[in-house]
Amino acid sequence: MTPKKTILALSAHTDDAELGMGATLARYAESGHVIYYAAFTQAPSRHGHDPKKELFKAASALGLPKNRVILHNFERRQFNNSRQEILQIMCDLEKQLYPTMVFVPSRSDTHQDHEVISREAFRAFKYYSILGYELPWNTIAFESQAFMSLDRKDVNKKIKAIKAYQSQNEKPYAQPDFIESWARMRGATIGERYAETFEVIRLIMEL
Ligand SMILES: [Zn+2]
């Protein structure tokens, strides 16, 4: 039996990790690995929608337990003003979790909040394996170096998780046909039906 990994997924906004690696998270969860998910603020929510409820619904669609989902409340698009506080939260997570792998927005992500999460995570987790997930609408070029092969059911869970964010439902990247085609395209890259891809920021090799 393979030993259980502790996976830490860091999102600037709720929905980032779901979009970039939702199907991979579902696959890890189904394989019994321990997954922590931390978002530093919530995605914009329509009036009348409870963003925390949307996050828990999305997490549950992926098989992530509620007690390992963490939500902070930093001001959107202003993360740059809270870098030290964000770094401290990550350093505390590092001490608590000793994660096997940390997932962050890629280093080529141009969104100002994503950039802060990616850079500060490297400071906090530089002695760990770090992979950057793909959000194609935020990058000019993406270093597509690592792949997770997926089943249709993993992609379906991702689609369900994204649907939980009702306020984002009109975004082109939240459409089920887009999510499926994106996974097909990444799957075709490695000769599989479906996949998600990652930038290798740091890889600590193990025997
Ligand atoms: Zn975001």
**How far, in Å, from the CA of 43 to the mean position of ligand 1?**
7
Contact partners, residue 16, CB within 8 Å, separation at least 6: 39, 105, 114, 133, 135
Q: What is the tally of structural domains in the chain?
A: 1
**Does position 91 have pLDDT exceeding 70, yes or no?**
yes
**Confidence category of residue 1, pLDDT binned at 50, 70, 90:** low
**How far, in Å, from the CA of 104 to the mean position of ligand 1?**
11
The answer to the question of residue 207 being in a domain is no
Amino acid at 106: S
Residue whose entry in the numeric block shows the structure tokens 């009109």: 170
**Distance between CA 156 and CA 139 in Å, rounded?**
25
**How far, in Å, from the CA of 57 to the mean position of ligand 1?**
18
Segment 129-181, tens digit of pLDDT: 999 999 999 999 999 999 999 999 999 999 999 999 988 888 999 999 999 99
**How far, in Å, from the CA of 1 to the mean position of ligand 1?**
36
DSSP structural state of residue 74: P
Name the residue range of residue 13's domain: 6-202
**How far, in Å, from the CA of 118 to the mean position of ligand 1?**
12
Segment 29-75, tens digit of pLDDT: 999 999 999 999 987 776 677 888 999 999 999 999 999 999 999 99
**Domain containing residue 108: CATH number:** 3.40.50.10320
Residue whose entry in the numeric block shows the structure tokens 């030290």: 84
The answer to the question of residue 98 being in a domain is yes
The answer to the question of residue 1 being in a domain is no
**How far, in Å, from the CA of 86 to the mean position of ligand 1?**
15
pLDDT at 136: 97
Average pLDDT over residues 3-30: 97
